[in-house]
Homo-oligomer: A and B are copies of this chain.
């Protein structure tokens, strides 16, 4: 069965991709792009280093513009990121029977609640799968065993999360200071390939 994994190049989405592969799904790793900035490149590199098929899914710019408006109003990313992620799942659910993401047990965002999951599964006739059965300690240990991981400060070139395109929009509209305040740089773990 064909399955789509929303993919950022990080440990969580890499691990849910591995689980799908091992369970026998025919997987495609998907990174959304809203036409603001080519932030999908690091994810495409990680996918390729693992030998997984990767596609960029071009989505409407209005989605990221709406999210950016929410985030500037809130001065906080959570609601806007959740909004984008729900739209992303809804978009890919038109093309796949199984859709998955790397949401883990201790994630706050992006995260669908039970009624949102029921809704998308019923409306779109899809199965939604995530990493909710796994905590961060388990994911760290598994990814240590499975993957070569690069720890580094995030920047605009090495990260494929939704926040990169949002930062670009905030930069354009409100300047870099606000973008940096809402999305401070942080250390990220990027998957660089299978453990040798």
Whether the pair A134, B133 counts as a contact (CB closer than 8 A) is yes
Interface string of A130-172 (1 = CB under 8 A from B): 1111110110011001100000000000000000000000000
How many subunits of this chain does the assembly comprise? 2
| With A22-B23, A127-B138, A127-B141: A105-B121 Cβ-Cβ less than 8 Å | no
Interface string of A72-108 (1 = CB under 8 A from B): 0000000000000000000000000010000101000
The answer for the CA separation of A145 and B138 in the assembled complex, in Å, is 27
Whether the pair B121, A137 counts as a contact (CB closer than 8 A) is yes
Residues in chain A within 8 A of chain B (CB atoms) = 1, 16, 18-19, 22-24, 98, 103, 105, 114, 117, 121, 127-135, 137-138, 141-142, 145-146
